[in-house]
Amino acid sequence: MDRILIRGGRRLAGRIPVSGAKNAALTLMPCALLTDEPLTLRNLPRLADVDGFGHLLNQLGVSTMVEGAHPADFGRVMTMRAQRLTSTIAPYDIVRKMRASILVLGPLVARAGEATVSLPGGCAIGNRPIDLHLKALEAMGAEIELTAGYVKAVAPGGRLPGGRYTFPVVSVGATENAVMAAVLARGTTVLENAAREPEIVDLCNCLLAMGASITGIGTETLTIDGVDRLHGATYRVMPDRIEAGSYACAAAITGGSLELVGANAGDMRATLAALSEAGVKVEERRDAILIEASNGLAPLNLSTAPYPGFATDMQAQFMAMLTKAEGTSVLTETIFENRYMHVPELARMGADIQVTGRSALVRGVTPLIGAPVMATDLRASMSLIIAGLAAEGETEVNRVYHLDRGYERLEEKLQAVGADIERVGG
């Protein structure tokens, strides 16, 4: 099992290319199911989850072809074609490894009139049910049955009528599934209190390129007029706002200066505002965001929230950074019930963090000492990398397969800006 070794204390400086967004790619890929024509995605990141989703699509009868990157992109080009589906079942052994597999539910019901998807089960950051996905589909006319760990959704007569649904809580995945189910419905669907994440805007824009009819994009009310069919398209995946924010925290904690090339500042206003409040210089340039941290960090009081609020996917990375702030910070995690798995590991490095309920008190400035630590989930792993970059001595991060799910070529990108970091196998 690969490990990553970091010898900390180096100031990062230089340019880091920002890859295509994992959480956009994972909702754009299932759009291939919605048409029998080719869907080509540009700027796809090289990530384990993207490869995993490609295998799932293959199991459903979708052909996938990967080519090199377009000159203007960092990521690969993948052309997918669901000329005819050979299955409408997403099996347990795939879904249990990647929760995002649930995102084939909506498009399969839309294209084939039915879908059978294994229940995802819990994961490290919470039990993460799919009840809102199912309630949205039911509101659109789907019949849902749960048997033996699988959920089966059927469109009576083969095509959903459409409907209206108000989400009781904001859910990114449930909004994505509902939108993909609605685009081929017989009638109109209105989704209220829908998630507004940039990845959902990317999904809607790709669906528009395929011939869908959606209004309210970027707002909490989406109106989708079903059409009879969608056609193929070529669409460029948006840059990864969480990867960019993660490297910004790495610059901040090392007192460094990084240009995040290809990042879209418009997608990460809350992250950039928090960095500025901490005393980090943020400068938006034509093709990059400059992050400069030269004179210490101020403590912050941050609460995660659905977009455009402060992203839950940035909480762990900020926590690592704030161990270097001159004072006590308070982080409150409002989205997931167990997203503090990084705290005990950061504590092993000397961090002084007290978790009470949903809030964590982070006392700074605490000297971080390198240590062997364990990655538990994707963003927790990145917080350990960020801490290791500033720690005295060597940090060994184990179970880096978590990292490989969401950070493309992490050690290469960090080596290129001065980090003493390497991956060791075995």
Interface ranges with ligand EPZ (CB under 6 A): 22-23, 26, 100, 126, 128-133, 169, 171-174, 312-313, 335-336, 378-379, 406
| Cis preceding linkage at 154, omega within 30 | no
Q: Specify whether the CB–CB gap between 180 and 156 falls below 8 A.
A: no
Residue number with CB closer to ligand EPZ (45 or 226): 45
Tell me which of 31, 123, 204, 249 is the catalytic residue.
123
DSSP structure class, residue 323: T
The SS3 call for residue 97 is coil
Burial of 146 (0-12, 13-18, 19+ CB in 10 A): exposed
Closest approach of ligand EPZ to the CB of residue 127, in Å = 7
Residue number with CB closer to ligand EPZ (26 or 386): 26
Nearest residue to 122 (alpha-carbon basis) of 319, 333, 318, 339: 339
DSSP structure class, residue 20: B
- Reported in sequence order, the residue ranges of 39-93 that DSSP labels E, i.e. its strands, are 39-44, 63-67, 76-81, 89-90
Q: Specify whether the CB–CB gap between 58 and 32 falls below 8 A.
A: no
Residue number with CB closer to ligand EPZ (81 or 165): 165
| Cis preceding linkage at 365, omega within 30 | yes
Residue number with CB closer to ligand EPZ (47 or 212): 47
Closest approach of ligand EPZ to the CB of residue 195, in Å = 6
Residue number with CB closer to ligand EPZ (120 or 255): 120
Q: Which residues contact 357 (CB under 8 A, 6 or more apart)?
A: none
> What does each C-alpha distance from 266 to 54, 166, 221, 238, 241 come to in angstroms?
29, 27, 20, 11, 9
Burial of 286 (0-12, 13-18, 19+ CB in 10 A): exposed
Closest approach of ligand EPZ to the CB of residue 135, in Å = 8
Residue number with CB closer to ligand EPZ (34 or 382): 382
Residue number with CB closer to ligand EPZ (130 or 206): 130
CA distance 418 to 300: 27
Residue number with CB closer to ligand EPZ (10 or 22): 22
For 327, the token pair is 């004072």
Q: Specify whether the CB–CB gap between 101 and 117 falls below 8 A.
A: yes
Q: Which residues contact 394 (CB under 8 A, 6 or more apart)?
A: 5, 6, 7, 8, 370
**Count of positions (residues) in the chain:** 426
Burial of 84 (0-12, 13-18, 19+ CB in 10 A): exposed
Closest approach of ligand EPZ to the CB of residue 378, in Å = 5
> What does each C-alpha distance from 34 to 90, 212, 228, 416 come to in angstroms?
16, 10, 11, 40
For 123, the token pair is 């994961």
Closest approach of ligand EPZ to the CB of residue 233, in Å = 21
Closest approach of ligand EPZ to the CB of residue 73, in Å = 21
Residue nearest ligand EPZ, CB atom distance: 173
Catalytic residue check, 123: yes
Closest approach of ligand EPZ to the CB of residue 173, in Å = 3
For 156, the token pair is 């009576």
Residue number with CB closer to ligand EPZ (170 or 297): 170
Helices 378-390 and 241-253 sit at what angle, rounded to 10 degrees? Answer: 20
The amino acid occupying position 82 is A
Closest approach of ligand EPZ to the CB of residue 106, in Å = 12
Closest approach of ligand EPZ to the CB of residue 324, in Å = 23
Catalytic residue positions? 123
